[in-house]
């Protein structure tokens, strides 16, 4: 029996396959673009490696694309055949079971199955990161944190995955509001794993949440090597940098980064589209003319209306369609979301019913300048919007649209209350967005908001 870099037994037979498997695992931990190449090499060398097929299936499901679900189904079949051919250990079998659960629409149970693996094999960094990734998709930040903290004691100083573990710990601390601890963990993690773009970006999140764009820019500046090797995650790190420029009011730099990095390659991965749509939405809320930048995002989003893999993705497709006034596609997307919500069986369909539908109706109404309907629905979705997945920084676009809809519709007290909650989540930090809105509310009370509508009777 061979042993991998984290000390886990693996049912591989050749050192060459093990070497590729180790590279694949490190690649997955650092969001490296080369990860699928290493995984393909493992499976080419040893097609009866069930864990490899299971990892492939899980990775494809993480991409959140309906047309790739078949690849995950094929991977599960290959894993089951492999299990018939070669005896696998309980840890490896657990990954296959997790894949089956996710394919059955049970994302939470799939994540929990990976957690079961961690109880027996806490040093398994692949399981740690897979659990972290699924919890992120589920918007379950409390679980992200408890998962990491449960395995932390098993990581000795020289565990190869320790830096990446600290990066995940940093992110989970940030998402649960412990900003100082998050920064300490993130910086320590980067010393051990300088290519951990996730840990690096966790610190960017800290500066975003604490309204310190200047420190955020200083942190990212000169550290481009930490995310240059990444898959599309690199666009997201650039997006964070653009957010910091936005907070500083440097709109030219935001647009420049948007064009040269964030949407440079105009890809249609849902995470890339969410970077683009949420940035354009934020810019428009600040009164910036974004030109024809909605168009390519709306073109891609029009092709995704029947997807339904993730509510987070659907809501960002909706932003693009609203941004470019694609009324037919908006109707198609809404109809499909209604159908999913009515089925209400899988974890995603349940989230589609609540908060997905209310959020989508709110976004559509915002695009129609019906700010009363927008505010009522977005405020209604707000309590559970975390279950749409993603981070606080990503979901803040929905928070901003809710607050702005409230101000425009004249719900000044309600908008102010949400602004105060937003500020409390940031431990009292007030970013540019909040300062401007507090001022708008104050002016509105003096009857001085030019675009303010009266609330409907
Ligand atoms: Fe992020």
Ligand 1 centroid to 455 CA: how many Å?
35
When the pLDDT of each residue in the chain is averaged and rounded to a whole number, the result is 96
In the structure, what pLDDT confidence band is assigned to residue 453 with cuts at 50, 70 and 90? low
Query: Which residues neighbour 232 within 8 Å (Cβ) at sequence distance 6 or greater?
Result: 267, 269, 271, 272
What integer pLDDT is reported at residue 457 of this predicted model? 43
Report residue 146 CA to chain centroid gap: 19
Instruction: Find the mean pLDDT for residues 370-374.
Output: 98
Ligand 1 centroid to 287 CA: how many Å?
24
Ligand 1 centroid to 211 CA: how many Å?
15
Instruction: Find the mean pLDDT for residues 385-392.
Output: 95
Q: Is the pLDDT of residue 91 over 90?
A: yes
Residues 438, 92: Cα–Cα separation, whole Å: 53
Cis check for the bond before 444: say yes or no (omega within 30 of 0). Answer: no
Q: Which position has the higher pLDDT, 295 or 448? A: 295
Instruction: Find the mean pLDDT for residues 149-170.
Output: 97
Instruction: Find the mean pLDDT for residues 255-270.
Output: 97
The dihedral built from the CA positions of residue 208, 209, 214 and 218, taken in this order, carries a sign that is: negative
Is 79 in contact with 53 (CB distance < 8 Å)? yes
Residues 64, 17: Cα–Cα separation, whole Å: 28
In the structure, what pLDDT confidence band is assigned to residue 452 with cuts at 50, 70 and 90? low
Say which residue the tokens 């694609």 belong to.
326
pTM score of the predicted model: 0.96
Ligand 1 centroid to 201 CA: how many Å?
6
Is 186 in contact with 199 (CB distance < 8 Å)? yes
Ligand 1 centroid to 134 CA: how many Å?
15
Instruction: Find the mean pLDDT for residues 399-421.
Output: 97
In the structure, what pLDDT confidence band is assigned to residue 1 with cuts at 50, 70 and 90? confident
Main-chain phi, psi angles of 32, to 5 degrees:
-75, 140
What integer pLDDT is reported at residue 357 of this predicted model? 97
In the structure, what pLDDT confidence band is assigned to residue 450 with cuts at 50, 70 and 90? low
Report residue 129 CA to chain centroid gap: 14
Ligand 1 centroid to 171 CA: how many Å?
9
Q: Is the pLDDT of residue 456 over 60?
A: no
Ligand 1 centroid to 239 CA: how many Å?
8
- Can you give the residue ranges of every domain in the chain? 266-457
Q: pLDDT digits over 17-74, tens only?
A: 999 999 999 999 999 999 999 999 999 999 999 999 999 999 999 999 999 999 999 9
What integer pLDDT is reported at residue 449 of this predicted model? 65
């Amino acid at each position: 029996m061979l042993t991998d870099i984290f000390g886990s037994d693996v049912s591989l037979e050749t050192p060459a396959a093990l070497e590729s498997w180790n590279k694949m695992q490190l690649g997955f931990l650092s969001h490296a673009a080369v990860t699928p190449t290493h995984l393909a090499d493992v499976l080419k060398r040893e097609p009866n490696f069930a864990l490899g097929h299971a990892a492939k299936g899980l990775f494809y499901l993480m991409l959140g694309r309906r047309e790739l679900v078949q690849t995950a189904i094929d991977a599960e079949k290959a894993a089951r055949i492999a299990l018939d051919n070669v005896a696998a250990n309980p840890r490896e079998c657990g990954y296959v079971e997790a894949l089956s659960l996710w394919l059955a629409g049970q994302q939470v149970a799939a994540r929990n199955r990976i957690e079961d693996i961690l109880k027996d094999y806490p040093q398994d960094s692949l399981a740690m990161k897979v659990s972290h990734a699924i919890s992120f998709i589920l918007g379950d930040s409390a679980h992200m944190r408890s998962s990491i903290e449960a395995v932390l004691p098993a990581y000795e100083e020289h565990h190869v995955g320790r830096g990446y573990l600290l990066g995940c710990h940093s992110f989970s601390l940030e998402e649960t509001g412990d900003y100082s601890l998050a920064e300490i963990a993130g910086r320590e993690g980067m010393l051990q794993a300088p290519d951990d773009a996730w840990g690096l970006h966790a610190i960017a999140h800290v500066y975003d949440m604490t309204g310190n764009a200047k420190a955020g820019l200083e942190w990212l500046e000169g550290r481009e090597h930490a995310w240059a090797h990444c898959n599309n995650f690199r666009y997201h790190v650039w997006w964070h940098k653009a957010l910091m420029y936005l907070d500083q009011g440097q709109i030219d730099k935001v647009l420049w980064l948007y064009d040269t990095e964030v949407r440079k390659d105009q890809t249609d991965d849902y995470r890339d589209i969410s970077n683009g749509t949420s940035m354009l939405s934020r810019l428009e809320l600040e009164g910036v003319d974004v030109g024809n930048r909605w168009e390519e995002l709306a073109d891609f989003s029009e092709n995704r209306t029947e997807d339904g893999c993730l509510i987070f993705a659907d809501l960002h497709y909706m932003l693009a369609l609203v941004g470019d006034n694609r009324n037919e596609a908006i109707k198609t997307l809404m109809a499909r979301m209604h159908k999913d919500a009515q089925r209400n069986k899988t974890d995603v369909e349940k989230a589609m019913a609540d908060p997905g539908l209310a959020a989508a109706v709110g976004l559509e109404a915002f695009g129609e300048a019906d700010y009363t309907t927008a505010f009522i629905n977005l405020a209604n979705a707000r309590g559970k919007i975390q279950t749409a997945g993603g981070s606080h920084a990503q979901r803040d676009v929905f928070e901003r649209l809710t607050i702005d809809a409230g101000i425009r519709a004249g719900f000044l007290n309600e908008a102010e209350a949400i602004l105060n909650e937003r500020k409390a989540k940031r431990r009292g930090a007030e970013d540019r967005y909040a300062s401007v809105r507090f001022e708008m509310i104050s002016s509105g009370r003096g009857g001085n908001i030019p675009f303010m509508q009266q609330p409907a009777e």
